[in-house]
Amino acid sequence: MKNLQVGIIGGAGYTAGELIRLLLSHPKTNINFVYSTSNAGNKLYKVHQDLIGSTEIEFTQAINADVDVLFLCLGHGNSSAFLEKNSFSSTTKIIDLSNDFRLITNKNFEGKEFVYGLPELQKEAIKTAKYIANPGCFATALQLAILPLAANGLLKNDVHINAVTGATGAGTSLSKTTHFTWRDNNFSHYKAFNHQHLGEINQTVRQLQANFNSEINFMPNRGNFSRGIFATIYTKFSGSLDDAKQIYQNYYKDAAFTFVANEPIHMKQVVNTNKCLVQLEKHGDKLLITSTIDNLLKGASGQAIQNMNLMFDFEESLGLNLKANYF
């Protein structure tokens, strides 16, 4: 099989930069074009400076409608607007990294049916999908923390979540809360109890456990670091710690990138990888689940390539065997 011809729409952001970096090293892909109206004619490395020496590809305003796979790295609400104005070959598979098509109410768009692309939830559906809605970063970390419980009908009480993300989670555009002088030596919460990723989290839980009628209480935080998500989740659980570990290990026994750790975990173990680490503790009648990912990789571009691998029947981990920036 020839290498896939890949198109990228919206090539200047953090997720696009990581996507390009990974695709350049992927043994089955060739970047056909990277579309950006604001950077057309510039070398990719003029924006993504880590790519100096890796590629001479330039941003372009020209679109090849016949690429094998198209990645949409656009701001939320912009993917649907782009697809309304631009048509692609009937054989082009599309992976969208925005939140435009993640919810069941939005999954059908102009004859395209988007499949929610969380491999640990529905790998078989992804394999046969033509259009993928890549999950959100917080949504990925938090769902992977509770999927095994929901799949076994064990979420019977409120779920309480406290999670922190790095500055790259807010994108490249500067604002008061992403400026270095504000973030440095600082910590804050935002969108308490109403973060946009709660929609897809609740949707997935009810997909696995239809009778779930409790609250998922989510407190998102801004950290003073660049990348990564670290989450702590607790809920009531009547079983033992060994019971919980068995449930999680069984659920993730065939997962390519999600691992149940026996020892306490920390974020440096996953930054620059497509891994999610999950660790369990029992405190009285509560189960504490800790989850950590790289928000730009397992939470965005890495997971998008994982989905691409599944869609084209490649090895799921192809191009994603990355070492953490541990030191």
* Residues labelled catalytic: 137
Contact criterion met (CB below 8 Å) for 305 and 19:
yes
Neighbouring-strand partners of residue 69: 6, 93
Question: Left, alpha or beta for 185 (phi > 0: left; psi -120 to 50: alpha)?
Answer: left
Q: Which amino acid is at 4?
A: L
Neighbouring-strand partners of residue 8: 34, 71
For residue 36, the SS3 value is coil
Q: Which amino acid is at 124?
A: E
- Host H or E run for residue 275: none
Neighbouring-strand partners of residue 288: 234, 281
- For residue 257, CA distances in Å to 33, 68, 80, 277 come to 29, 25, 30, 8
d(CA 280, CA 248): 9
d(CA 133, CA 112): 11
Picking from 80, 83, 99, the residue whose alpha carbon sits closest to that of residue 15 is: 99
Sign of the torsion angle spanned by Cα atoms 200, 203, 209, 215: positive
For every residue of 167-230, DSSP letters joined together read GGGG-SS--TTTSHHHHTT--EE-STTT-TTHHHHHHHHHHH-TT--S-EEEEEEE-SSSS-EE
d(CA 31, CA 34): 7
d(CA 307, CA 327): 29
